[in-house]
Structure 1
Amino acid sequence: MTTPAPTPGPGLECAVLGRVRAWYDGVPVDLGQSRSQEVFAILLAAAGRTVALPLLVEGVWDEGERPSRAEHCVRTHVWRLRRALARHTARPLLVTVGNGYALRVPARAVDTWACERALARAEEIRASGGSAAQARDVLAGALALWTGEPLAGLHGPHARALRVRYARLRQLLLEARLELDAELGDRPGLVAEASALVMEYPASQRLRAVQMLALYRSGRQAEALGVYEDTRRHLSTELGRLPPAQRVPAGDLTALHQRILRSDPTLRRARTERRPQAPGHASFPSPVAGFTGRDEQLRELTGMLTRPGAPAVVVSAVSGMAGVGKTALAVQTAHVLGEHAFPDGRLHIDLRGADTAPVHPHAALATLLRALGTADDDIPEDAEERSALYRSLLAGRRMLLLLDNAACCEQLRPLIPGSADCTVLVTSRAWLTGLAGARHLRLDVLPQTEALSLLRRTAGRRVVDADGEAAAALVAACGSLPLALRIVASRLAAEPGRSLAGMVRRLADERSRLEELRTGDAAVDAAFELSYATLATEQARAFRLLSVLDVPDIALPSAAALLGLGIEEAGELLDSLVDLSLLQSHRLDRYHFHDLVRVFARAANAREDRAATTSRAVAALLDFCLATARNADTVAHAAEPEERTLIDVAPTSPGLAFTTAQEATDWMREETALQRALIARACTDDSLPLAQAADLVDRLNTVLSGITHLSAVGDLARQVAEVAARRGDRPCEALARYVRGNALWHANSFPQAKTELHRSLALCDRDADLRLRASAHLTLCAHARVRGRFQDAIVHGEASVRSFRTLGAASAEGTALGELAFNYARQGRLAEAQAAAERGAELLGGRESVSAAIGLYYLARVLHLCGDREEALRRAGAGLALFRTLNVASFEAASGNLIAQLHAEQQDYALAARTAETFLPMARKVSAMLEGGLLRTLGRSLLHLGQQARAEACLQAALELFDGLQAEQDAEQVRGLLATAAFIPR
């Protein structure tokens, strides 16, 4: 390039000719507020030399405005700047030297160096006989670096002094550039620009000379002579303090004045250099046939490209995955704007960024110069000269440059013109965040309505509308990717006998889907292959491994475990895949594939990775997830880790840590899909530890019970149990059958639950599996209680309490005591019930946890049965508040049911009805038993409120639920209420 512009590149790059800004490897560095920027600017101006702390203080504040602890303030700003730089590099850039600081940045990294270098380079070009146009464009490129007042927004003494220095630098650049403008010829606007600059810099005799010459060549000799007289007056009146010898115009200006007086004919002959013609529009690509949709993106991109009065070249970048339609949108936008928007022409170049060998910027410049009319012999070989010629040809022209399929910012920077008259539109699979000043549009797949419209436009409206369900399925199979949709639509159009449903069936098989998405020279997998081939080894490995599990997305810590990397290293790797549009990230630190890209990545994994390698990676992720799930279980239930372990297996990973029960349950909810996928894979991959999968199923069961439906957990437990049975793994089968029984119980499938729980007990070793036996007895206790068999429930409950007490599992014992207490109360053993409930609450309390809330709930139930309704309400309300905080829906509904019942028994029927109605929607989602209980309370309350018809409807619905659940005692209570209702006069 002609001038090293301050566009972000490798390492630290800085700009002060406008706002103070910095980038590291193309990524903006946050320099903080104005005082921090002042410190940074002072250190930057020192060019690596040490600046003493007192000098920094003097440079930031005027003497009367310094805070009392000014040096401390400067140290704080330095600390903040160091922290900002450390986010981008481990290199110590801002260092302490004695009682001062130094910023280790090369001079060329600052935009002012580029300007100083431009002055010297322009002189070198002219001295060596080079082109005046080339020298002029070197200077124009440097002037383009000014984006506003230098150090804008900074007002300290040092900033004011630097502004004076930089103003002088700009003046020198302007003087040299206008002199070359005058040498090259009478370009339009030269008189106006020279006159305006003379008003800005009245003491500049070089600018006055250009003004005089431009006026003379325009036939305005008298005005040219008037400039000389004005110069004399200015020097005499405004600069009277100068010595007499300096109060007259310089010799060059005086000689020019004499030549104009003589009407010297040689002054009218300016040197002109051949300027190729504008390229026009003929070579620009035509719009894509059948372009459909993208109205919102067209409006946005059109607005981005039409920014009248922009101070610098307008650059807009469209990024997105292969086949998403970036080029089609860019070309369509250019045609929507029309030729009148770019009267000097439109250029297009395919930079082949997705190829293994993208077009080099040097070669791209040659292609663009030819398009601008430059003969091959006139294209310079030197990179700086080639860039200068390119910029000079574009200067002052209103043109659109479509730089299509760019690889990276480094490829693009030499191709960005310096003229603000040009507009640049870039397309790339990469997310070009390092392209300074660019506006970005990230293109996603088509919405379903637009995808169906595309199918109609290509395959025919009649074909698509004849089978709307198949059309929607076809869009889903193509992942709404425009390239895939065009391929299937063209195949349907070419083969009228082929049906939409038939095409959907062909695409249903993941193994052959990409083969089906090929036609002519278009192929989805070929588009993906181009991107894949450019990946570095680690990127390619990550791309393949991330695809192996059937999950909608994956969190960064889990991805790091799968890849065997640290969090930061994995984050950088995954973000690089996002930047290349091979991976997507719609939420912070969560990543996912487009469906077709996942299919491609899996095929690559099957082709390139040994099965054992993939299994080791998945095993590492399973180990990490189990360790994290154990941590979540422990925190959620405020228990010791060993209390929650029902099988002898120990993960090696420490997993993620949690500080609150809410964090723990949130993680389990968020990662349910991942854990399910890992368990399912362990059931089909013999190299993965089945015991870890069984333990993970149990963690899902214990943490998520009461929060969400457990039917999926029950299905996973069944799979694990069947695999364990085939392998003869009794401990795994015992645990899996316990989990399945527990899940079936929560799903109100009581007979099946009982069967599974007894099978689990039969498989348990009496001594080795004591904890599992205790847990199974506890669930059987609850099962018997629901069926109204309270004595059986007490037998199981007491067995569970004894076992947990033997194990020293305080939290589990507290839960078992709470369940046992309720059954004692139903058998009339009230003293034992209250003692058991209070001891259970004591064991479960002390921390904000699910277990503590359950303890309060159990105690409230027993207090209710013992007749202490006020205390029961207080405990139930406290438990409800905890359940709400922890999002435990089933126990929240259970607490609401109990509170409504207590209000009804206190004869506050209106409040009871309101409470029941509040919790009914939640109960319908989590438990038929709870729904029946709330309907019973609501019906009873409505009877007392005189709303007999509604009351009977609620009671009838409750009876149907209880009959279906074989909850005999509850059903009998409802029948009694219905019988009472029958005697109430209507």
Structure 2
Amino acid sequence: MWEALIAAVATAVMSRASEDIGNAAQSTWTTLFRKVRGRLGTRATLIDAGDRDALEQALRDIVDEDPAFAARMQALLRQLGEAPALTVPSPGLPVPATVRLLPAGPADFVNRTGPLAALDEIRGHGEAGATPVVVLRGTPGAGKTALALRWGHKRQDWFGGGQLYADLRELPDAALGGPESTENIVTSFLLAMGVPSSLVPDSFAARLALYRTMTADRPVLLLLRGAALPAQISPLIPTAAGSMVLVSTERDVRGLAMDGARFIDVGPLDDSAARELLEAVSGREGTDPAPVRRVIDLCGHLPIAIRIVGARLRLDPGLTLADLVRDLESEPDLLGDEVGPLFQNVYRHLSDSAQELYRTFGAVPVAEVTDGLLARLGWSDHRARRAATDELIGLNLLERPGPGRWAQHPLIRAHAAGLSAHDEVVAATVDYFCEFAEAADRAIMGDRRRLITGPPGPDGPPGRAEALDELERGREDLLRVARAGLALGANEQVARLATAAQALYFNHPHLADWTEMSELGIAAAQRLGRADVEVQIRCTLSGAHSAAGDLRRAQTEIDRALALLPAADDPVLAGTVWEFNARLLDRVARAASESDQPTARAKAEDAFRTAIATFHDVGLPRGVALGHLYYGAFLDSAGRPADALTELDQAREGLNAAGDDRNATRADAAIGAAHLHLGHFRVAYEELAAAAAYLAVSRLWRYELEVRENLVLAATALGDRAAVAEHAERAAEIRRLSSPGK
């Protein structure tokens, strides 16, 4: 059974018998020669005598007594790259056993159809010597290993050579100065495949060569969890056609991309899959979707967090979903205590610079951080910032939603916050957002009167539409910053932020956000003793309640604003309050019963005239023009379109003179509506179409929607079916974009 090996060893030692061993002391040949001579003892003279038959018999006697010696000789022969003809089989080793080392995956695995299909596709193109390596990457706790195990068990029949699994987290970490983990893995794989411990080669190189031989004929799946370095993975890649390597890790192994590795991102679960997982783990189905949705949001859609809260629900039948929501909202660390160790394990591998940036992200009270904000927070060096962000991205602790924008998963951000000192970073963030919002406000609203604002800062977005887009993208962060600023006592900045944010809400009426931001601004103004700022914000808050249909709350805010006017001592502000009061009374009149409408309309008309007169008395032409605009719209809605046109023509003239093209366009739209009600359909269509074009380019959805609806009516009256379809489609699109009422 050893004949091929014995012949190879005999050829090797006899071909080198005449060499000066001392001159080749470090060569593999020398090692082989010395080991053979040492085991032959006195029979080593057979080598010098050239008696090959006797030498082979002596070797045969040795290996029959000591099979491990045969394995060591074979390993040494495999290292002789200068003599490839001497590569021989190992007749003493068993046929590799088909091993199935994959641990069980979670029983309640959900969704992930996309990544599973991607793995099928990748494996389907495997060729001998070109084994695909696939890295599953994503946030810690996203279910990368669960996905790999599910696919491995599902495709067990594809891997006739077996399925190998190793958790490198349980082995000494080479990156932290420990021994090479790969060496231990190879040994465990050889033993699992049936190699007797006595035949496992001594050197790592020989063991690795034996491992590759035993995985070269039939397809093998290799799953490595927690790999830290590409060097831990590359040596283990099997070469048999149809083989595949899956790597599930939180560590940065992007270097594998240079060797052709594929990367599949495993993100948080979508709403449907997250709900399915929560129901499966908790054992509760058909529950109220609202608290379920909130629990999932608080878990950040992360499978491990959902499993944790699901287990709590299963173990405590008396715990309701509403109770769980309250617990999670009132105790932010409740989940952090469970999932924090996952993130801490990755955090400890970061460089000092990356750890500092990680803590900075935790201290910033926003979901999305820009390069500009990072520069304000001390990360102005582009190279240092890029190196640190790249390291965090490589370890899946940071995401890049867009150029120059960064975000963390909510639970990661919560972990980072626990490592951070907040106040200094929060204060700098509030200052930055004030400047950002005020620059956007100026770009959108022009030179409107602002009672509290900072000096012009860096240039804002290049145009009105871009500025509105930036505010829309950051609207949730605006609220987060205002909350954090008020808690920190940054009252002036919060009042400035609430004032500037109106530029967003006037045009994109996110009513819940509008209300909360106004209330934060009012609280800040009261702390500052700024009755004038409080009056101005209460007026806009009245507009928010009015738009939501809550006329009672809207009137309450107007009444409070009127009561504060003496303390504010601002005649211009008095005109603003009367204007908002008149617009509210207009809505009240529209909602009144038929019998009450005359009285309600008379009150509204008096209020409009008072507002116009007040602005006229203080010498504010733009205020006068706006008063005519709102008064004209009121007259049109009251069934007096001819009277309305007189007011609206004055409004358009005044607003154009003031350079307020936004509100001048609103006057165009109101004039078009009045002509529509007078039956002047062609004139109405032309006025409305011009207004719609401007509003669309400026992304002023709030106003464009009503204009499009009137265009549908005008086009219908003109018999223009194509125009009807065009404007109806655009109106539907605006409703989807702006979601008014939310």
Common fold by TM > 0.5? yes
Describe the superposition over 1:306-353 as per-residue Cα deviations: whole angstroms up to 9, x where unpaired. 43325523211112222233223323433333377142x444332229
**What is the match of residue 187 of structure 2?**
370
Corresponding residue for residue 654 of structure 1: 458
Amino acid at match of 1:313: T
**Does residue 488 of structure 2 align to residue 685 of structure 1?**
yes
Task: Give the counterpart of 2:284 among 464, 470, 474.
Answer: 464
Equivalent residue runs for 1:515-530 within 5 Å: 515=334, 523-530=338-345
Show the counterpart of 1:230.
Answer: none
- The match for 1:444 among 247, 267, 280 is 267
Q: Does 1:286 align with 2:286?
A: no
Alpha-carbon distance in 2 for matches of 1:626, 1:881: 31
Aligned-partner Cα distance in 1 for 2:250–2:335? 24
Deviation per residue, 1:429-463 (Å, 9 max, x gap): 1464331311222223345555566566666xxx4
- Match of residue 535, structure 2, among 723, 730, 734: 734
Cα distance in 1 for partners of 2:245, 2:470 equals 45
Evaluate the alpha carbon distance shift between residue 312 and residue 579 of structure 1 in structure 2; reply closer, same or farther with a 3 A threshold: same
Ranges in structure 2 where 5+ consecutive residues have no aligned partner: 1-22, 33-78, 590-600
What code does the residue aligned with 2:187 have?
R
Where does residue 725 of structure 1 map in the other structure? 526
Distance 1:873 1:450, change over 3 A: closer
Question: What is aligned with 1:850?
Answer: 662
> Quick one: which amino acid aligns to residue 501 of structure 1?
T
- In structure 2, relative to structure 1, the CA distance for the partners of 1:130 and 1:331 (3 Å cut) is farther
Q: Paired residue for 2:351?
A: 536
CA contact (8 A) 1:821 1:834 kept: yes
Tell whether 2:304 aligns with 1:483: yes
1:184 paired residue number: 87
Distance verdict in 2 for CA 1:178–1:920, change over 3 Å: closer
Mark the CA change 1:514 to 1:295 in structure 2 (over 3 Å): closer, same or farther: same
In the other structure, the counterpart of 1:101 is none
Question: What root-mean-square deviation, in Å, do the aligned CA atoms of Structure 1 and Structure 2 show?
Answer: 5.0
Distance (Å, rounded) in 2 between the aligned partners of 1:293 and 1:869:
57
In 1, Cα distance between the equivalents of 2:520 and 2:270? 37
CA contact (8 A) 2:507 2:701 kept: yes
Contact 1:319 1:428 in 2 (8 A): yes
Matching residue of 2:76? none
Question: Structure 1 815/295 Cα, relative in aligned 2: closer, same or farther at 3 Å?
Answer: closer
Could you say what secondary structure the match of 1:604 adopts? Answer: coil
Aligned residue type for 1:879:
A
- Checking the alignment, whether the CA contact within 8 Å between 1:647 and 1:732 is kept in structure 2 is yes
Letter matched to residue 705 of structure 1 = F
Contact 1:897 1:916 in 2 (8 A): yes
Tell me which of 716, 726, 738 is aligned to 2:517: 716
Superimposed CA distance per residue, residues 488-539 of structure 1 (whole angstroms, 9 cap, x where no aligned partner):
555666x5x6445279528723564655788xxxx42222221222233443
The residue identity in structure 1 corresponding to 2:379 is L
* Number of residue pairs aligned between Structure 1 and Structure 2: 641
Secondary structure of 2:487's counterpart equals: coil
After superposition, give the CA deviation of every residue in 1:907-965 in whole Å (9 maximum; x if it has no partner). Answer: 989999999988997999999x99xxxxxxxxxxxxxxxxxxxxxxxxxxxxxxxxxxx
1:713, distance to aligned residue in structure 2 (A): 1.4
Q: What is the one-letter code of the residue matched to 1:334?
A: G
Q: Is the 8 A contact 1:661 1:850 kept in 2?
A: no
Q: Secondary structure at the match of 1:644?
A: coil
Q: 1:447 to 1:880 in 2, by over 3 A?
A: closer
Alpha-carbon contact 1:844-1:855 (below 8 Å) kept? no
1: CA distance, partners of 2:377 / 2:431: 13
Distance 1:759 1:816 in 2: 22
CA offsets, 1:537-590, max 9 Å, x none?
A: 443344344345776x41534653674434956566445433322334566665
Q: 1:593 Cα deviation (Å)?
A: 4.0
In the alignment, is residue 615 of structure 1 matched against residue 423 of structure 2? yes
Stretch moving more, 751-760 or 368-377 = 368-377
Greater relative CO, 1 or 2 (CA 8 Å, sep 6+):
2
Equivalent residue for 1:751, pick from 555, 558, 563: 555
Q: TM-score, normalised by structure 1?
A: 0.55
Q: 1:604 to 1:799 in 2, by over 3 A?
A: same
Alignment of 1:527-566 (within 5 A): 527-547=342-362, 553-557=367-371, 560=374, 563-566=377-380
Residue 882 of structure 1: CA displacement? 1.6
Cα distance in 1 for residues equivalent to 2:690 and 2:214: 77
Q: Distance in 1 between matches of 2:328 and 2:723?
A: 55
Determine if contact 2:373/2:432 at 8 Å carries over to the other structure: no
Quickly say closer, same or farther: Cα 1:310–1:438, change in 2 above 3 A: farther
State how 1:125-274 maps to structure 2 within 5 Å.
Answer: 128-130=26-28, 180-185=83-88
The answer to whether residue 435 in structure 2 is matched with residue 627 in structure 1 is yes
Q: How does 1:684-833 map to 2 (within 5 A)?
A: 684-686=487-489, 688=490, 690-747=491-548, 749=551, 751-752=555-556, 754-759=558-563, 761-766=565-570, 770=572, 772=573, 775-780=576-581, 782-783=583-584, 787=589, 788=601, 789-800=604-615, 803=618, 805=620, 815-816=626-627, 818-819=629-630, 833=647
Measured in 1, the distance between the counterparts of 2:335 and 2:306 equals 11
Q: Distance in 2 between matches of 1:458 and 1:131?
A: 62
CA distance in 1, matches of 2:407, 2:31: 51
Mark the runs of 5 or more structure 1 residues left unpaired by the alignment: 1-124, 135-175, 188-272, 931-986
Q: Distance in 2 between matches of 1:492 and 1:903?
A: 58
Q: Whole-Å Cα distance in 1 between the matches of residues 106 and 306 of structure 2?
A: 14
**Which residue does the alignment assign to 2:141?**
323
Pick closer, same or farther for the CA change 1:126–1:796 going to 2, 3 Å: farther
Counterpart Cα distance in 1 of 2:544 and 2:697: 24
Deviations 1:810-829 (A, max 9, x none): 6x675456446668997988
Displacement after TM superposition at 1:484 (Å): 3.6
> Residues 351-377 of structure 1, C-alpha deviation per residue, up to 9 Å, x if partnerless?
229998757696123213423358799
* Aligned-partner residue type, residue 86 of structure 2: E
Q: Distance in 1 between matches of 2:714 and 2:321?
A: 61
Change over 3 Å in CA distance of 1:833–1:677 after alignment to 2: same
Match of 1:664 in 2: 467
Q: Between the two proteins, what is the percent identity of the paired residues? A: 20
